[in-house]
Amino acid sequence: MSTSSSDKSPVPAASPSSAVSAALATFAQKRGQHMQDLCELVRIPSISFDGFPAEEVRRSAEATERLLQKRGFENVRLIEFPGGHPYVYGERLRAPGKPTLLLYAHHDVQPVGDEALWTSPPFEPVERDGRLFGRGSADDKAGIVVHTAALASFLESGHEAPLNLKILVEGEEECGSTHLDEFLQRYADMLQADAMVLTDTGNFDVGIPSITTSLRGMVAVEIEVQALRQPVHSGAWGGPLPDAGLAMSKILAALSDDQGRMTIPGIYDRVRPVSDLEMQSYNALPFDLDRFRDQAGLPAGVSMLGPEGDRQNPWLTIWRKPSLSINAVEVSSRRDARNVINSHAWARIGIRLVPDMQPQETLQALIDHIHRVTPFGVQVKITPESSSGPWYVEPSHPAFAAASRALQAGFGRQALFIGCGGSIPFVAPMSARLGGIPALLIGVEDPYTNAHSENESLCIADWESSIRGAIHMYSELAATLRAGGK
């Protein structure tokens, strides 16, 4: 544990408009140092999944700790739990009587996938065609630097931040926020704030600032099928014996119909209907299907899934309808393929949840359905992973209007309110634990980011615009929020 100095002389206060102008000018001058900060974080392979070096995640946390200290946060420290990856906490509480903003990002990253598909080494940041390539460049180490760069731009221009800041950088977000409940129980008082800003989502498109107002939840399971004690020769035994790969294929095929809709009984019963206002917003989105297909990497001739109406506006399906994915399947391997009847097969299945679906109810429905469709009497073992519920908020609190104005100033165009098909387990329980304070979800990803996939990248221009937007946001929220909710 280490702590930054708290005996520095206070930075002189100034009117928000002059402070913001000075901070923006300072960022323009020192943009390179913040890009270097980001590159240094990206070089650390902080994969939080089991089976990867935990010491690298810790090294990432320590680098984050040093960065927060260097850019002006105080009382910076690591927070650890047995068997978990470190969180990093810091604060800048130099604005008496002003509201407090809780900032969030995460320093852990996904595995790299197939390294042969990367056009440059995944942990060596490379600038190419206006983008920074590297695992974690966008998700979510860029989010950390948005926070540090915004604060440093105020301080290095000779001005204090216009409101109080607390920052939490998680180390387990990508692997399911395993210790989140324990963390919230222990540190909720420390995290008390008047609003949250989470830089872990994305923009609707390159250059279009966006505020996310809904997240899908997530349940996932591992399935293991055993048909025989060991593999046997397919010529000597083929015919009467069940193959584990075939049994797994039948299980997976029985989870959806020909349109990709899940066939799990009752799975759609709790899905909240889309309101007329939401539908108006979705229909007004600036997109076309050809561009969507290109952004998704969907080859010509491959159909989009769902009913015809959903295919005309895929964002409605991504943001407000549940979905099923088969994340991995293992039956022997391509390298070891032999003429055998396989004895074992394994798969990982995930379901994304939308408002009002309940994680445990959905998980049980999935488990029951798998048992119901398991063929041949083979043995099946189902291991649930940690789950998270969906999140939705109406952007009616004045903080959302303030954030929208700030992003418009940072990007030079009006911000959109959008949904997100992904999950951030932190949001719903933290918002509830802190009394339902407004949660402002912004980020630097875009449809070309390839988060969680090979060749993850960050649009550098949007990252710079996000930092300018954060500088404006601190001032806007200082004038909008009331300290202590008063």
CATH number, span 16-215+390-485? 3.40.630.10
pLDDT bucket at 394, cuts 50 / 70 / 90: confident
pLDDT bucket at 58, cuts 50 / 70 / 90: very high
The domain spans of the chain are 16-215+390-485, 217-262+322-385
Q: What is the DSSP string of 127-160?
A: EETTEEESTTTTTTHHHHHHHHHHHHHHHHTT--
Least confident of 34-43, 278-287, 373-382, 412-421: 278-287
Give the model's pLDDT for residue 311: 75
Measured distance CA(102)–CA(192) in Å, rounded: 8
Residues forming beta bridges with residue 131, ordered by sequence position: 128, 459
Give the model's pLDDT for residue 240: 97
Measured distance CA(327)–CA(118) in Å, rounded: 19
Q: For 68-118, write each residue's pLDDT tens digit.
A: 999 999 999 999 999 999 999 999 999 999 999 999 999 999 999 999 999
Query: Distance of CA 363 to CAs 181, 264, 265, 347, 391, Å?
Result: 19, 11, 12, 16, 17
Q: Is the pLDDT of residue 1 over 60?
A: no
Q: Is the pLDDT of residue 340 over 50?
A: yes
Q: Do domains 16-215+390-485 and 217-262+322-385 have the same CATH topology?
A: no
Tell me the pLDDT of the chain averaged across its residues: 92
Q: For 455-473, write each residue's pLDDT tens digit.
A: 999 999 999 999 999 999 9
Give the model's pLDDT for residue 3: 38
Average the pLDDT over 180-194 and give the result. 90
Average the pLDDT over 331-348 and give the result. 95
Average the pLDDT over 126-148 and give the result. 98
Average the pLDDT over 411-435 and give the result. 87
CA-based end-to-end distance of the chain: 35
Measured distance CA(201)–CA(204) in Å, rounded: 10
Q: For 299-339, write each residue's pLDDT tens digit.
A: 999 999 988 767 778 988 999 999 999 999 999 988 899 99
Query: Distance of CA 13 to CAs 9, 18, 472, Å?
Result: 12, 10, 16
Measured distance CA(466)–CA(460) in Å, rounded: 10
Average the pLDDT over 276-294 and give the result. 83
Choose which CATH entry (3.60.15.10, 3.30.9.10, 3.90.1150.110, 3.30.70.360) describes domain 217-262+322-385. 3.30.70.360
User: For residue 341, which phi and psi values (nearest 5 degrees)?
Assistant: -95, 120
Bigger pLDDT: 14 vs 307? 307
pTM metric for this prediction: 0.83
Q: Is the pLDDT of residue 390 over 70?
A: yes
Give the model's pLDDT for residue 274: 86
CB distance 425 to 173 below 8 Å: yes
Give the model's pLDDT for residue 286: 86
Give the model's pLDDT for residue 388: 87
Angle in degrees, 0-180, between the axes of helices 16-42 and 54-70, rounded to the nearest 10:
150
Give the model's pLDDT for residue 6: 39
Give the model's pLDDT for residue 13: 42
Burial class of residue 408, CB neighbours in 10 A (0-12, 13-18, 19+): middle
Let me know how long the chain is.
486
Q: For 46-56, write each residue's pLDDT tens digit.
A: 999 999 999 99
Beta-carbon contacts of residue 420 (< 8 Å; ≥ 6 apart):
201, 202, 212, 214, 215, 216, 319, 441
Query: Distance of CA 358 to CAs 173, 182, 217, 420, Å?
Result: 20, 21, 9, 18
Measured distance CA(133)–CA(64) in Å, rounded: 20
Give the model's pLDDT for residue 485: 60
Measured distance CA(205)–CA(443) in Å, rounded: 12
Beta strands 439-445 and 195-202, pairing class? parallel
Q: Is the pLDDT of residue 12 over 70?
A: no
**Residue 301 CB-half CA count within 13 A:** 0
Sheet strand arrangement including 131-133: 126-128, 131-133, 457-459
Q: Which residue has the tokens 């979905």?
A: 323
Give the model's pLDDT for residue 355: 92
